[in-house]
Amino acid sequence: MIPIARPDLGPDEVAAVTEVLSSGMIAQGRKVAELEAKWAEFVGVKHAVAMANGTLSLMSIFSGIGLEPGDEVITVSHTFAATANAILYTGATPVFIDIEPDTYLIDAKRIEAAITTRTRAICPVHLFGLVADMDMIQAIADRHGLIVVEDACQAHGATFRGRRAGSFGHGAFSLYATKNMTTAEGGFVTTNDDKLADWLRLHRNQGMRTRYQFEMLGYNFRMTDVAAAIGLVQLAKLERNTARRQAIAARYDEAFGELPIGLPITPDGRTHVFHQYTIDVGGARDAIVADLREAGVGADIYYPIPVHRQAYIMERGLYADLPVTDGAAARTLALPMHPGLTDAEQNQVIEAVRTAVGRHLDGSAAERPAAGVAAT
C-alpha cells in the first residue's frame, strides 16, 4: 500500500539522536533551546516555546490567555478533535462555525454573527497546510477585542501575504510523526507576547524557573533533547520537503485537471504547504476510497465525522448546524502526500484515481462537484 504519509527520516536524524544519547543529557536542555530559537526565527516571532505535543501547545495557550468556564472560542468543526478539546479542557466552550466551501477553512464572513458577550478568542485552523483569511480574522478580532489563537498544527511554513502561519496571533504547532516536520511527538507555541512566553515556560516545567522553587501551579509538558535533535534535522530539511510536496501537488493538479472532481485551491497571496492533498469526489466518495485501497493506494478521509457530530460534543449541547462542514466530511478524501513519494508511486496513484473516478462518476453536470465542496 502506498502510504498517505511517511516521515522523512534518515541517517542525519539517527546521527543526531545518537549524539544526544551518547552525551547523557537527554531531557530538555541545549537542543530544545536551539530548536526554539531556530523555530522562532523561521516563523518570524519573538518566542517559540517547545512542548510535548500540539494538543498541549494549544491547551497551554488557552490556559495562558486565562480562558475560564463561561468563555467562548469561535472555531471550526472541520478539524482534528484536539482543537476543540484544548478549549474544553480549560472549561471554556468551543462555538463551531462553518467553513468556506473551496478552501475547507473557517469562513471568516460568519465569525461576527457568532460573537457574544462571552467570546474571548477566535481559533482558525490552518487545515491541510493552508492559512485561513488572516486579514479578515485579524480585523474582526481587533474590532471586538478578541485574541487570535492559530491552530497551525498542519501548516509548518505556510504563508499569508508573506507572513508565516503562527505569526499572526498565538500559534500552536504539532510535530507528530506524520506532520510536515516531526520530532515523533512534539509541539511549539509561537508568540510575540513576552509575558505569555514566560508563563508558558513556567507552566510546562512545574512552575519552576529555579530548581525546586515553584512559582506557580505547573505541569510537565517538556520536550526532550532527543526529540529536539530530530527536530533540528527536520527543520533544516523543511523548505526542501515543502517544495517537494508542492511539486507533487502540482503534478496531481495537472493529472486531474480534466476529471469531474474538485481540487485544492490556493487563494492569491498564500502559499500552501500541502500537509494533505484533498479532493472532492461528491457522493461516490466511499466507493472511490474503497477502489483506491483495493488498488494499493492509501487514500484516507480527514475527517469522516466532524467534531460537532461526535457524541461527547453533542452530549455537551455543542451541536451546530454546519452544512458545508457536513458536505466536506461526506465528499472529500486525501491522497498520498509526503516528500518521499516517488514518481512511480505517484503515477500509480494518478492511474488509480482516474480509474475509480471513471467508474463511479460519469462527469455529467449533475455528478460534477463545483471546485471545492458544495453544501449537502
Ligand X SMILES: Cc1ncc(COP(=O)(O)O)c(C=O)c1O
Indicate whether 273 belongs to the interface with ligand X (CB under 6 A). no
What grid cell was written down for 95? 462555538
Indicate whether 53 belongs to the interface with ligand X (CB under 6 A). yes
Binding track, positions 98-137, relative to ligand X; x by CB under 6 A: ---------------------------x------------
Indicate whether 83 belongs to the interface with ligand X (CB under 6 A). yes
CA-wise closest residue to 306 among 315, 297, 314: 314
| SS3 per-residue string spanning 190-228 | EECCHHHHHHHHHHCECCEEECCEECCCCCECCCCHHHH
Place of cell 515556560: 201
**CA triple 341-362-266, angle to 5 deg:** 45
Indicate whether 154 belongs to the interface with ligand X (CB under 6 A). yes
For ligand X, which is the closer residue by CB, 61 or 284? 61
For ligand X, which is the closer residue by CB, 79 or 346? 79
For ligand X, which is the closer residue by CB, 127 or 233? 127
Instruction: Identify the residue among 4, 45, 54, 181 touching ligand X (CB under 6 A).
Output: 54
Instruction: Identify the residue among 153, 292, 333, 357 touching ligand X (CB under 6 A).
Output: 153
CA-wise closest residue to 3 among 253, 376, 276, 374: 276
Known catalytic membership, residue 38: no
| Least distance between ligand X and beta carbon 178 (Å) | 8
Supply φ then ψ for residue 352, to 5 degrees.
Answer: -65, -40
Position of minimal CB gap to ligand X: 54
Q: Contact region for ligand X (CB under 6 A) — 15-23, 74-82, 109-117, 281-289?
A: 74-82
By residue count, the chain amounts to 376
Question: By rule CB under 6 A, what count of residues binds ligand X?
Answer: 14
Q: Which of 38, 46, 109, 179 is catalytic?
A: 179
CA-wise closest residue to 360 among 331, 336, 335: 331
One-letter identity of residue 282? G
| Least distance between ligand X and beta carbon 283 (Å) | 26
For ligand X, which is the closer residue by CB, 80 or 256? 80
CA-wise closest residue to 108 among 97, 119, 92: 97
Instruction: Identify the residue among 160, 168, 176, 221 touching ligand X (CB under 6 A).
Output: 176
Supply φ then ψ for residue 333, to 5 degrees.
Answer: -145, 160
For ligand X, which is the closer residue by CB, 105 or 353? 105
Whole-number Å distance between alpha carbons of 56 and 148:
17
Supply φ then ψ for residue 375, to 5 degrees.
Answer: -65, 140
Which residues on neighbouring strands pair with residue 278, listed in sequence order? Answer: 334
| Least distance between ligand X and beta carbon 119 (Å) | 21
For ligand X, which is the closer residue by CB, 82 or 299? 82
Instruction: Identify the residue among 2, 35, 48, 82 touching ligand X (CB under 6 A).
Output: 82
* Catalytically active residues, by annotation: 179
Q: Note the residues at the interface with ligand X (CB under 6 A).
A: 53-55, 79-80, 82-83, 125, 151, 153-154, 174, 176, 187
